[in-house]
């Protein structure tokens, strides 16, 4: 007779799988909108379709609008657009549907990899299954069903399997060399920030393989088996990709130590595991209207950092598996060191909990294990927190489905929240009627629906009207110019943008709908 616990964990896994399948089907029918990063990545794919080379972003030149400039885009890794494009080619579907398949398979793959890793770390199937439920209810898990976040979902799909690989190998050999070599390439293809995780994971692997060796020479020999293929993997990534352009780590802005510099990485377990950064629209880097002021955010951050240290300490104290302790210590320490130094040097890396998600994922079974050891009152308190997180995530998902279902859509199939259908239809008609026009938008996604002409994407102008005019100015003339702006830009903002094209005169203003305006100019100044 099968034990009740085995039946329980299998039932939990079955429910999770069924829920993911249903969510995937809905997503295929209602593809998501785009976050800016993958929106930019898909613009690179669009440039490639129009004749640009691999990973080249082609756009009108600011010094001479009649010419193009080409940039090899190294800011983000190419997986965010290449993997959906692969599904698009295989299944002959549009980009939105290809993204839906990418997200669905990514979520399945991510949970499966973590399941096997948790089991490898000695946790019972029941604890592993509850851990997957907890992960599935986090807001970070449901975001890709509303907004495709590119590298985030791809990294989630791979990192569990990478952790499992680092925890599995028992001795050097060809299989180990291939794992180290290929995992660097695959992880980087998913997301460039994988590189710090790559270093942390290989460090765990090296310590595991060498821990039963007494002599330093044995440690060095084991290190060669890992270090040489890792060096080859990193060298090829640098030569064929990173060396060709700028990345978030390319430029520092001097040293600046603040209360958040190291407290944010230290607080990452709670910020990521309990969706606090998401629910507050960002503790420090705001993705919406901030819910708390800056001073209070720092105070809360310091408290969360202390609580995170207490959680980590108690997990290490109560969980017996030495390999699990190794992974928690190395990844948590690596995250604090890497991001703390990055923030100290003021690199272009935002204060967002998503960067630390792997740390949160690592400690989830440790938290579940820890909670089981506490008294019933604390377990109920944690249960209420869990239900609250799940409720906000489900609400976010349902609201996102409803909004995306009515959002505008064009040939790409992705939801277009930054334009309505009436306006988009008019723009697509102009695109079909012209072959030498330039369209201007203030969002990365709308331009994906332009198939026959060039596009320019400007940064939105804030209400303070503070901009760097050089970032907006495009000199010269190059055929018809069509600028699409929200009706709310009427006034100083629209004038600032029209002045950014000094080679044009005689702008004709027409309403595309009650929310969007078209500024058209065909005369050379």
pLDDT digits (tens, 9 = 90+) for 439-448: 999 998 999 9
In the chain, pLDDT over 70 holds for what percent of residues? 98
Q: Is the pLDDT of residue 1 over 50?
A: no
Output DSSP code: residue 465.
-
As a whole number, mean pLDDT of residues 198-219 equals 89
**DSSP percent split of the chain into helix, strand, coil, nearest 5:** 60, 10, 30
pTM, whole model, 2 decimals?
A: 0.92
Here the tokens at position 156 are: 């989630």
CA distances to 67, 276, 423 from 429, rounded to whole Å, are 24, 44, 10
Query: What is the predicted pLDDT for the residue at 2?
Result: 40
Residue 305 has phi, psi (to 5 degrees) of -65, -45
Query: What is the predicted pLDDT for the residue at 288?
Result: 67
Strands 68-72 and 56-60: antiparallel
User: Around Cβ 298, how many Cβ atoms within 10 Å?
Assistant: 17
Query: What is the predicted pLDDT for the residue at 464?
Result: 85
Q: How confident is the model at residue 286 (pLDDT cuts 50, 70, 90)?
A: confident
Mean pLDDT taken over the chain: 92
As a whole number, mean pLDDT of residues 116-142 equals 95
At 2-38, the pLDDT tens digits run 444 458 899 999 999 999 999 999 999 999 999 988 9
Most confident by average pLDDT, 133-142, 248-257, 369-378: 133-142
| Helix runs in 77-173, H state only | 79-91, 95-120, 125-136, 139-142, 151-168
As a whole number, mean pLDDT of residues 381-403 equals 93
């Amino acid at each position: 007779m099968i034990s009740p616990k085995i039946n329980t964990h299998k039932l939990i896994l079955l429910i999770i799988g069924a829920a993911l399948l249903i969510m995937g089907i809905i997503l295929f029918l209602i593809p998501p909108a785009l976050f800016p990063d993958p929106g930019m990545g898909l613009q690179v794919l669009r440039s490639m379709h129009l004749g640009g080379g691999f990973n080249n972003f082609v756009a009108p030149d600011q010094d001479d609008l009649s010419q193009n400039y080409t940039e090899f885009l190294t800011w983000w890794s190419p997986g965010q657009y290449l993997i959906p494009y692969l599904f698009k080619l295989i299944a002959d579907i549009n980009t939105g549907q290809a993204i839906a398949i990418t997200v669905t398979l990514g979520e399945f793959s991510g949970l499966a990899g973590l399941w096997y890793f948790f089991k490898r770390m000695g946790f019972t199937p029941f604890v592993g299954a509850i851990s997957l439920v907890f992960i599935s209810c986090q807001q970070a898990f449901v975001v890709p069903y509303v907004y495709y976040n590119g590298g985030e979902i791809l990294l989630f799909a791979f990192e569990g399997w990478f952790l499992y690989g680092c925890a599995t190998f028992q001795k050097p050999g060809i299989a180990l060399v291939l794992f180290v070599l290929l995992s660097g390439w695959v992880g980087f293809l998913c997301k460039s920030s994988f590189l710090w995780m790559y270093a942390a994971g290989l460090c765990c692997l090296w310590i595991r393989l060498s821990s039963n060796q007494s002599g330093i020479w044995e440690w060095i020999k084991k290190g060669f088996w890992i270090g040489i293929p890792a060096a080859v993997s990193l060298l090829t990534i640098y030569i064929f990709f990173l060396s060709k352009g700028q990345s978030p780590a390319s430029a520092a802005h001097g040293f600046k130590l603040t209360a958040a510099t190291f407290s944010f990485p230290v607080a990452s377990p709670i910020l990521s595991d309990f969706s606090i950064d998401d629910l507050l629209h960002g503790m420090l880097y705001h993705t919406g209207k901030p819910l708390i002021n800056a001073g209070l955010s720092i105070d809360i951050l310091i408290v969360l950092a202390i609580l995170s240290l207490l959680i980590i300490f108690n997990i290490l104290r109560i969980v017996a598996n030495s390999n699990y302790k190794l992974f928690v210590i190395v990844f948590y320490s690596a995250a604090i060191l890497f991001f703390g130094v990055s923030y100290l040097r003021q690199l272009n890396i935002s204060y967002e909990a998503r960067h630390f998600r792997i740390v949160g994922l690592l400690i989830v079974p440790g938290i579940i294990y820890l909670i089981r050891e506490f008294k019933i009152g604390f377990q109920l308190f944690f249960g209420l927190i869990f239900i609250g997180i799940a409720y906000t995530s489900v609400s976010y998902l349902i609201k996102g489905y409803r909004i995306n279902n009515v959002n505008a859509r064009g040939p790409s199939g992705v939801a277009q929240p930054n334009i309505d259908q009436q306006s988009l239809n008019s723009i697509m008609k102009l695109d079909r009627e012209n072959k030498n026009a330039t369209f201007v938008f203030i969002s990365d996604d709308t331009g994906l629906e332009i198939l026959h002409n060039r596009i320019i994407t400007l940064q939105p102008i804030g209400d303070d009207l503070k901009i760097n005019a050089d970032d907006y100015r495009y000199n010269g003339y190059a055929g018809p110019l069509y600028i699409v702006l929200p009706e709310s830009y009427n006034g100083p903002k629209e004038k600032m943008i029209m002045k950014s094209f000094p080679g044009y005169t005689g702008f004709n203003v027409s309403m595309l709908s009650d929310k969007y305006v078209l500024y058209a100019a065909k005369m050379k100044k």
